[in-house]
Structure 1
Amino acid sequence: MHRNAAKSVRPPAMRQVERRALGVEEAKRLLDALRGHRLEALYVCALTVGLRRGELLGLAWADIDFDAGTLTVRQTVQRAEGRLQIVAPKTERSRRTVPVPAQTLALFRAHRRKQAADSLAAGERWQDHGLVFQSRVGTPRDPDHIDRTWHKIRAAADLDWLRLHDLRHACATFLLVSGASPRTVMKVLGHSQIGLTMNTYAHVLPEIERAAVDQAAKHLFG
């Protein structure tokens, strides 16, 4: 009887690579570098709401409720078959409504005024897709353009190591450290499982546990 020796070999455990986390002072430096930039609202939204790049580019004005202070992720922009397409989120969890800070909403309003000026300047060339972050002629923005712009911004903030996707991680970390529950962070990010949230942000759990213990002691001992 033949035996496959390969079946008895145990592969090495996959080690999760822990990336450098964005600190509060670094985040403030980034916000300074973004101030007045044409796409300030996009990058600040990534930092404060945790949207993915495709979700940011697929965000429509109809998906922002300024009165309620929320936005809903209903679609994304991605490149497929050589062209940009607006598609539905991959999972049901990715389709979500999340709260938006007042500062980010203010940037959205300012961005809408810039977009109205773009529409007038483009004239008949304007193709309105109802997106928040459209090109100067109203078409969906190329994700590669967002990346190229990001490289310049992070260099200006002296944060060359910071990837655009790291803003999403920073959002989650700041929420957790501020006292948000892992399940709340799971909902904001659109994670499919609570385990994914816990494993991804395990590095901040000791800090959260310390804050919880100190807060409990404060109630006990005044």
Structure 2
Amino acid sequence: MLLREFWNDRFWPYCTRNLRESTRVGYESAWRLHVMPCFGGMDMGAISVELVDKWLADFDTAGAARKAWAVLRAILRRAIRWNLLDVDITRRDIQLPAKTHYEPTILSIRQQRALLQGFYDHPLEAWIICAASCGLRTEEGYGLEWSDIDLRSGVLHVERGLQWVSGHEAVVPPKTELSRRTLPLPRFAIRRLRELRPREGGRLIGPLTPPQAARQYASWCKRHNLSYVPARNLRHSWATNTLAAGADIAIVSKMLGHSDIKTTAKYYLKPDITALRDAQRLWERALVA
């Protein structure tokens, strides 16, 4: 079967039934721009490791190559699962371009405090409180509604996300089953949210769309000389600072809604030089004892 026939007749209908809209948009773009021009007219069984390696070597950026390969791999693995393909090249050593290391900018505890104070009485204050103090994913913060917050118990419930996809809003379920979670709010947040809670409820970002909320957040930080990081890095800041303060990594992983504690360790556990020196002192003490 030709790859484009499998895409049109089987794989894309499967995607429309089972994948988030944002994921489908990414798949369709990678297919149209990169996979289809090279492999669309080929029989699936004729796609070899050698051809894939040559294809990947021609990409301008590692990011585009990796995304395109992820889509081709998903297509081929689905064909194997449906017994339409016998040889699985996706398990072999495909030569992917080196991934660019990304080190997110995070806020220090002092900067987080200044940010929360700087948004006092701003329409986005309730959102910034929850996003900065609970390690929410960006889409989770945008999708948070006042009905999700139980101020009597001091918790918020992560029930959905709100994404901006192809020029419109898309309400999506939590990323994984562990992402549907109940999180405790800090005491200052409970007190302030009681004062901010509107009678009519609704979203914490009000009538704003996610891009509008992001622009208002960035412009307010710039206007009032507040340390700015993208909304997604509020999550990074909370996790990194909470771990640095001594919280158990397993608990932080649960707060973040990670399926694997290794993800938390890889992206958020960043011991500073003081912690590293403490570790050396412990080793030295054992050495000379």
Q: TM-score, normalised by structure 2?
A: 0.58
2:236 match: 169
Going from structure 1 to structure 2, the CA distance change for 1:44 and 1:56 (only over 3 Å counts) comes to same
Matched ranges for 1:173-212 at <5 A: 173-204=240-271
2:152 aligned residue (57, 60, 67): 67
Query: How far 1:164 sits from its partner (Å)?
Result: 1.4
Distance 1:211 1:48 in 2: 28
Distance 2:276 2:169 in 1: 44
Which amino acid in the other structure matches residue 154 of structure 2? G
Query: How far 1:49 sits from its partner (Å)?
Result: 0.7
Query: How far 1:105 sits from its partner (Å)?
Result: 1.6
| Aligned CA-pair RMSD | 3.1
2:176 match: 91
SS in 2 for 1:163: coil
- Contact (CA 8 Å) 2:155, 2:182: kept in 1 or not? yes
Higher relative contact order (CA 8 A, sep 6+): 1
SS in 1 for 2:157: strand
1:123 match: none
Q: Deviations over 1:86-116 (max 9, x none)?
A: 332131121111111111122322221xx33
Matched ranges for 1:1-222 at <5 A: 4=50, 6=53, 10-80=95-165, 82-112=167-197, 115-116=198-199, 130-133=201-204, 135=206, 141-159=208-226, 162-204=229-271
Query: How far 1:41 sits from its partner (Å)?
Result: 1.3
Which amino acid in the other structure matches residue 71 of structure 1? L
Distance 1:44 1:82 in 2: 27
- Matched pairs, number: 196
Gaps of 5+ in 1: 120-129, 216-222
Query: How far 1:12 sits from its partner (Å)?
Result: 4.7
Which amino acid in the other structure matches residue 114 of structure 2? R
Q: Deviations over 1:126-156 (max 9, x none)?
A: xxxx534253xxxx53101111111112213
Q: Deviations over 1:60-91 (max 9, x none)?
A: 33322222211110112223464324332131
SS in 2 for 1:158: coil
Distance 2:102 2:195 in 1: 38
Distance 1:106 1:214 in 2: 42
- Contact (CA 8 Å) 1:57, 1:131: kept in 2 or not? no
Q: TM-score, normalised by structure 1?
A: 0.74
Query: How far 1:38 sits from its partner (Å)?
Result: 1.6
Which amino acid in the other structure matches residue 111 of structure 1? L
Structure with greater Cα Rg = 2
Distance 1:95 1:9 in 2: 35
